[in-house]
Amino acid sequence: MLRDITLGQYYQTESVIHKLDPRVKLTATICFIVSLFVVKSWVGYVAAAVFLAVMIRLSNVPFKYMVKGMKAIVFILLITVVFNLFLTPGETLVSVWKLRITREGLELAVMMAVRLSFLIVGSSVMTLTTTPNSLTDGMEDLMKPLKLFKVPVHEVAMMMSIALRFIPILLEETDKIMKAQIARGADFESGNLVKKAKAMVPLLVPLFISAFRRANDLAMAMEARCYRGGEHRTKMKPLKYAARDRIAYGVLAAYFALCIAIRIYL
């Protein structure tokens, strides 16, 4: 039942996007998100849609997987749309009882919905094509300048990769404990909110204990292998830009320039 969660999941396949340097993909994702807020006209959104469609096509990941990530934000999306639709002042189109839909509101609602869904799909292209490990590697490298301000970049990256690594483990553990308690007659589904919250105790207590136990074991194992943080640490496979990464940067720059041009001239 919990296996359906695709958050931060990696989809294994062969593609140009998979082979790109994680730093390129991170930069591209950030640029794409920024571009969504730069453009304001429909032409801009068409450009973003085309860019996104090409990326999805190149990534060889079935479109179904991209949409799966959307399920998590359906609720947020709905709230955004409803609020924008009814609460934006302007020229009235339809009015029912005290609620009225304005032309501006409709435009804003659609725009918000498009923005949000592009944002999610765009970021899932990155997470689906990049392993959590190379993602944190890329992040560490991009954040290097922050070291000047005494930010513990390596440690932050390490914490992130451990956190990501633990998501599937804890999900599996949750599934197991849930089943064990159901076998003892526990009921997680019926009852009102208070009853449901109380029913979570037999799940959460063992889960927290197991999370602490695992964290403790991991810390011990790292210590036993003389882990001592980022100082003087070298990598077996340091990140290196290849020709395709430079081309990707070029494409990205062109796309971003186009978005700015659209914003200025249209």
Q: Is residue 183 a contact point for other proteins (CB under 8 A)?
A: yes
210 near other proteins, judged by CB under 8 A: yes
**Site map 190..209 versus other proteins, x via CB under 8 A:** -----------xx--xx--x
Binders of other proteins in range 118-177 (CB under 8 A)? 176-177
Shortest distance in whole angstroms from residue 221 CB to other proteins: 18
Tokens 């959307």, located at residue: 70
Per CB under 8 A, 184 contacts other proteins: yes
DSSP-assigned beta bridge partners for residue 101: 94
Burial 172-186 (b: 16+ CB within 10 A, else e): ebbeebbeebeeeeb
Residue 64 C-beta: closest distance to other proteins, Å: 9
In the block, residue with structure tokens 């990464």:
245
State which of residues 141, 181, 256, 263 lies at the interface with other proteins (CB under 8 A): 181
- Size of residue set near other proteins by CB under 8 A: 18
185 scored as a contact of other proteins (CB under 8 A): yes
211 touching other proteins, by CB under 8 A = no
Indicate whether 71 belongs to the interface with other proteins (CB under 8 A). no
Rounded Cα distance between 93 and 133, Å, is 51
Query: How many Å is the Cα radius of gyration of the chain?
Result: 23
Widest CA span in the chain: 69
Residue 214 CB, nearest approach to other proteins (Å): 11
Residue number, 206 or 230, with CB nearest to other proteins:
206
DSSP 189: S
Q: Using the minimum distance from each CB to other proteins, give the nearer residue, 183 or 226.
A: 183
Residue 201 or 253 having the CB closest to other proteins: 201
Q: Are 123 and 131 in contact (CB under 8 A)?
A: no
* 237 near other proteins, judged by CB under 8 A: no
Give the DSSP per-residue string, 61-121.
--HHHHHHHHGGGHHHHHHHHHHHHHH--SSEEEEETTEEEEHHHHHHHHHHHHHHHHHHH
Q: Minimal distance in Å, beta carbon 202 to other proteins?
A: 5
Name which position in 50, 78, 180, 266 contacts other proteins (CB under 8 A). Answer: 180
User: Distance between CA 259 and CA 266 in Å, rounded?
Assistant: 10
State which of positions 3-22 bind other proteins (CB under 8 A): 3
Dist. CA 67–CA 87, nearest whole Å: 28
**Where on the chain is the footprint of other proteins (CB under 8 A)?**
3, 176-177, 179-187, 201-202, 205-206, 209-210
